[in-house]
Amino acid sequence: MTTDVSLVESLLPTSTPSLTPNSAVKVSRRRLRVCHECDLLLALPRLKNGENAHCPRCEHQLVKRHTNAAERSLALALSTLIALALSVAFPFLSFNISGIGNRIELTDTAATLVSLHYPLIALSVLLTVIILPALYLCSLVWLSIGMIQQKKLPRSRRIARTLGYMTPWMMADVFVIGTLVSLIKIIGMADIELGLSFWTFCVYALLLLLTIQSVDRDWLWQYLDPHPKAPSQVHLGYSASLQGLAGCNICGLVNRVDNVAPGKKARCLRCDETLHPYQGVNVQATLALLFASLVMYLPANLYPIMITTSLGDTQASTILGGVLLFFQSGDWPIAIIILTASILVPVCKMLILLWLCYVARQPKAALTPLKRTQLYRITEFIGRWSMVDVFVVAILVALIRNGTLMSIEPGAAALSFTVVVVLTMLAAILFDPRSIWLHEAPPSIFYSSHSKEHPHV
């Protein structure tokens, strides 16, 4: 079912000419989407390969099309898996000082932490660097093969549902930065040799980023199940929640939720994922996680994060102490990286989220809704980079293990800081950016020049 709408298409591809404001267009219910960041009901334009579409109100990218999407994702995923296998199979780093040295493989960064009774930190390293990326890549290979063969392989829907959940927690690129920081920290006192695994891991991190960007979940779900349609008699350019609608965060299908029985959770008709209709400002979960991260942030800075033993002399260093040591030794770039990732980023992220929770109920705030949304996106992006310090500890602890001559062990703050990173990431994920747009009117693009009536489908 399609109908004419007397206005511009709700989304314009970035690489095509703009339509005139009064052009009549037909909007299919299969192309209706809800912006997950501002709750605006939209209709996707007809996108060609290489084009993308953004929300006209909050500028959130909704869709990006790729040429030969399935073949592209399959090639990248297989290449990334090969690079990961090489990274695990060969030596990663080695160092030598006065004829005494050590050589480690990538998995030793976690194995050493387990032997030192820090299993939670070891698990976080393994999950974010190896396990979750490997599961993601294998899942993508499975789905891509099915799409290329035009055959839905077993459990494809369930596998496709997991992709979005794994993406924020894959941190191979952050691990590369942590490795570089570790090398600069010890390069002045020992001879460092980069193994084959180091170079293949850098390739793996880059390919993983490209693989993630190659996935078009909207197109994927259209392939997996093209039959479900959005409800009829809906109004474009208005809040979906006010119309009893909710967009699925996994497959993008617009579902009606006002007919769900009280006490039951609404589920998506296509992927069976739990729907999260906007029900007003609710920041309790974010505030609880922020409070917990603040409590853990105190011991993370008061207790040592690393304990270094050199020629029988043991010295404990806190995060701030390590930053000052880098400054004193003239390693300004590394000092700035650690200062930013370990101190400024967590503090700024907590303060920004606290401020966003406070102004969520305010009709007027210091910044426009778009600026506040952009600020929220920054907190989501930078949060994972605080793991740099955790990865530095994991690498140095595994590499420098020579008893009283020279060795490094993790301090009590290492676990606290890992928990801080996880809690602040969860706080950002659970914050609902739709509350930022609660008091905003629909954008003028959804009105014709001759009528103030809202478009409907």
Convert the chain into a string of H (helix), E (strand) and C (coil).
CEEEECCCCCCCECCCCCCCCCCCEEEEHHHEEECCCCCEEEECCCCCCCCEEECCCCCCEEEECCCCHHHHHHHHHHHHHHHHHHHHHCEEEEEEECCEEEEEECCHHHHHHHHCCCHHHHHHHHHHHHHHHHHHHHHHHHHHHHHHCCCCCCCHHHHHHHHHHHHHHCCHHHHHHHHHHHHHHHCCCCEEEECHHHHHHHHHHHHHHHHHHHCCHHHHHHHHCCCCCCCCCCECCCECHHHCEEECCCCCCEEECCCCCCCCCCECCCCCCECCCCCCCCCHHHHHHHHHHHHHHHHHHHCCCEEEEECCEEEEECHHHHHHHHHHCCCHHHHHHHHHHHHHHHHHHHHHHHHHHHHCCCCCCCCCHHHHHHHHHHHHHHHHHHHHHHHHHHHHHHHCEECCCEEEEECHHHHHHHHHHHHHHHHHHHCCHHHHHCCCCCCHHHCCCCCCCCCEC
CA dihedral defined by 9, 12, 13, 19, rounded to 10 degrees?
80
User: What CATH class does 284-434 carry?
Assistant: mainly alpha
Q: Given CA atoms 293, 295, 301, 304 in this order, what sign does their dihedral have?
A: negative
Instruction: Report how far residue 308's alpha carbon sits from residue 317's, in angstroms, rounded to the nearest whole number.
Output: 8
Residue type, 370: L
Q: Contact, 249 vs 60, CB < 8 A?
A: no
Question: How crowded is residue 347: how many other Cβ atoms within 10 Å of its Cβ?
Answer: 14
Q: Contact, 392 vs 93, CB < 8 A?
A: no
Reported residue count of the chain is: 457
Q: Given CA atoms 338, 341, 346, 349 in this order, what sign does their dihedral have?
A: positive
Instruction: Report how far residue 390's alpha carbon sits from residue 418's, in angstroms, rounded to the nearest whole number.
Output: 7
What pLDDT does 448 receive?
A: 43
Residue type, 427: A
What pLDDT does 423 receive?
A: 95
Instruction: Report how far residue 447's alpha carbon sits from residue 386's, in angstroms, rounded to the nearest whole number.
Output: 44
What pLDDT does 456 receive?
A: 55
* Placement of tokens 């032997």 in the chain: 115
Nearest to 341 by CA among 358, 362, 353, 323: 323
Cα 367 to chain centroid, rounded:
25
Report residue 305 as tokens. Answer: 């994060």
Domain with CATH 1.20.140 in the chain: 284-434
What pLDDT does 443 receive?
A: 64
Instruction: Report how far residue 254's alpha carbon sits from residue 304's, in angstroms, rounded to the nearest whole number.
Output: 50
Instruction: Report how far residue 293's alpha carbon sits from residue 301's, in angstroms, rounded to the nearest whole number.
Output: 12
What pLDDT does 376 receive?
A: 92
Residues 6+ apart with CB under 8 A from 16: 45, 48, 51
Instruction: Report how far residue 187's alpha carbon sits from residue 97's, in angstroms, rounded to the nearest whole number.
Output: 10
* Predicted TM-score (pTM) of this structure: 0.86
Q: 131-146 burial, b for 16+ CB within 10 Å, e for fewer?
A: bbbbbbbebbbbbbeb
Instruction: Report how far residue 52's alpha carbon sits from residue 46's, in angstroms, rounded to the nearest whole number.
Output: 10
Instruction: List the pLDDT tens digit at each of the 457 positions of the chain.
Output: 333 332 333 333 333 333 223 333 456 788 899 999 999 998 888 888 888 888 988 889 888 888 888 899 999 999 999 999 999 999 999 888 776 778 899 999 999 999 999 999 999 999 999 999 999 999 999 999 999 988 888 889 899 999 989 999 999 999 999 999 888 878 767 788 899 999 999 999 999 999 999 988 888 888 888 888 888 888 888 889 888 899 998 888 999 988 877 778 889 998 888 888 887 778 899 999 999 999 999 999 899 998 887 766 778 888 888 788 778 777 777 788 888 888 888 999 999 999 999 888 776 777 888 899 999 999 988 888 889 989 999 998 998 877 666 788 898 899 999 999 999 999 999 999 988 887 666 665 554 433 444 555 5
Instruction: Report how far residue 51's alpha carbon sits from residue 76's, in angstroms, rounded to the nearest whole number.
Output: 20
Cβ-count burial of 179 within 10 angstroms (0-12 exposed, 13-18 middle, 19+ buried)?
Answer: buried
